[in-house]
């Protein structure tokens, strides 16, 4: 294998694929990236056995072939090369020898492992296929992923649950995430071809890597899935992943329907006030208290070490006076993803789940937040 590739193109592709490679691996081949030279392109593949990414970059290929080299080492080398330089890669035999990387006066010889040892991409039939605009997929991810649980014992909550809600005249594609303290539910119009797809839980790492990949693209994302695997394809990138094998809980049961106390507040004003007042809150609980009465809210926080803070805000509220506490970081996470100028709270009492959302009848996101004792 011999090829020449522009440093910028190689760095971009390596930046994508090396993220999938774990820093510590008990299986040596999983630390490597598979380089495959073909017709005017270099293919790069990396995997951690659950998640696989394949990307193609334009290259001038002298002779085809394949080699596997340490992913993070190659990325660091290319990152430190001068901008605009041409990188030559000579894969040698690729069967346990060395691959040589040259650029200008620099030369690096990297150990290789046999191509045959690299895990084959999991095939399998992916019968459900549809496309989503990149902007819509970014929205579904951004507005729900902060609620993904990091508690490994509840593995079925360690991802975003994508499923279809079919209805007369259309339906919707929903993304739901929860960690038991908060729940995010976001939806978009039902893409053509998505009807009948099974509900699937996409793992947190897959979501994270996918979000980085689609940051700048405006290409439609082609989604293919079965009950055990999912694949996202766009531009010159294909990301495929195992799905979480578990049942997502019946989240509809935790969405309250009888919350009759409605409070509306300016989103930016509220978020800035919460941020200021929470400076005083204890690092562990991050608790802030909302004291509500007609037309007025007092936000407050206190801690033995830092003292106390309070701030008064104008609100729309006509219910009975009440006090309720929340984790400030959770409030700020939700506020940052809402899109209208006003946040609407629907409350029941100080101990029951609260509904938050845009004060907009066509809002596509809904959040449930458990209160705290303060």
pLDDT at 14: 97
The confidence score (pLDDT) of residue 166 equals 86
Q: Are 185 and 176 in contact, with CB atoms under 8 Å apart?
A: yes
Instruction: Determine how many CB atoms are found less than 10 A away from the CB of residue 351.
Output: 10
Strand order in the sheet with 365-369: 200-203, 159-167, 170-178, 182-189, 365-369, 354-358, 342-347, 261-266, 316-317
Q: Is 218 exposed, middle or buried, given 0-12, 13-18 or 19+ CB atoms closer than 10 A?
A: exposed
pLDDT value at 96 more than 70: no
**How far is CA 365 from each of CA 34, 208, 210, 337, 338, rounded to the nearest angstrom?**
40, 20, 21, 9, 8
Phi, psi (5° rounding) for residue 116?
-65, -25
Three-point CA angle 26, 27, 30, nearest 5°: 120
10-64 tens-digit pLDDT: 999 999 999 999 988 899 999 999 999 998 999 999 999 999 999 999 999 999 9
251: confidence class by pLDDT, cuts 50, 70, 90: very high
Distance CA 330, CA 336 (A): 10
Task: Say if residues 342 and 267 touch (Cβ distance below 8 Å).
Answer: yes
CB contact set of 195 (below 8 Å; sequence gap of 6+):
164, 166, 171
* pTM for this entry: 0.93
So what's the pLDDT on residue 123? 67
Residue-wise pLDDT tens digits, 289-315: 999 999 999 999 999 989 999 999 999
The pLDDT of residue 132 is 96
Of 275, 250, 283, the closest CA to residue 331 belongs to 275
* The three-state (H, E, C) secondary structure of 287-346, written as one string: EEEEEEECCEEEEEEEECCCEEEEEEEECEECCCCEEEEEEHHHHHHHHHHCCCCEEEEE
Q: What pLDDT does residue 78 have?
A: 98
Query: Which of 261, 260, 360, 374 lies closest to 328 in space, CA to CA?
Result: 374
Q: Residue 224's beta-bridge partner residues?
A: 129, 231
Which residue ranges form the domains of the chain, and what is each CATH number? 2-117 (3.10.150.10), 128-252 (3.10.150.10), 255-369 (3.10.150.10)
Query: For position 93, what pLDDT does the model report?
Result: 61
């Amino acid at each position: 294998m011999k090829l020449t590739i522009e440093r910028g193109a190689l760095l971009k592709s390596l930046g994508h694929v090396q993220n999938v490679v774990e820093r510590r691996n008990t299986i040596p081949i999983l630390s490597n990236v598979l380089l495959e030279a073909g017709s005017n392109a270099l293919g790069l593949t990396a995997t951690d056995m659950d998640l696989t990414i394949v990307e193609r970059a334009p290259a001038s290929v002298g002779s085809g072939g394949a080699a596997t080299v340490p992913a993070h080492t190659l990325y660091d080398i290319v990152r430190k090369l001068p901008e605009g330089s041409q990188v030559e890669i000579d894969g040698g035999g690729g069967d346990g020898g060395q691959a040589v990387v040259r650029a200008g006066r620099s030369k690096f010889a990297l150990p290789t492992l046999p191509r045959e040892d690299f895990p084959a991409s999991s095939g399998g039939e992916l019968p459900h296929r549809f496309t989503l605009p990149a902007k819509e997929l970014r929205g579904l991810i951004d507005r729900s992923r902060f609620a993904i649980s990091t508690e490994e014992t509840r593995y079925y909550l360690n991802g975003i649950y994508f499923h279809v809600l079919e209805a007369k005249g259309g339906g919707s594609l929903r993304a739901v995430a929860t960690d038991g303290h908060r729940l995010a539910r976001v939806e978009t119009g039902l893409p053509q071809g998505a009807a009948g797809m099974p509900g699937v839980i996409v793992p947190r790492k897959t979501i994270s890597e996918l979000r980085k990949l689609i940051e700048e693209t405006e290409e439609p994302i082609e989604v293919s899935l079965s009950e055990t695997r999912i694949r996202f394809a766009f531009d010159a990138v294909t990301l495929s992943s195992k799905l979480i094998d578990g049942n997502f809980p019946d989240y509809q049961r935790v969405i309250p329907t009888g919350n009759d106390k409605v409070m509306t507040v300016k989103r930016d004003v509220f978020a800035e006030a919460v941020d200021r007042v929470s400076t005083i809150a204890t690092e562990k609980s991050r608790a802030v208290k909302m004291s509500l009465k007609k037309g007025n809210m007092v936000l407050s926080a206190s801690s033995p070490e830092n003292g106390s803070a309070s701030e008064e805000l104008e609100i729309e509220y006509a219910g009975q006076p009440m006090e309720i506490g929340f984790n400030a970081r959770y409030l700020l996470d939700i506020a940052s993803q809402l899109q209208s100028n006003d946040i609407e709270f629907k409350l029941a009492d100080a101990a029951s789940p609260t509904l938050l959302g845009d004060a907009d009848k066509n809002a596509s996101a809904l959040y449930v937040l458990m209160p705290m004792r303060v």
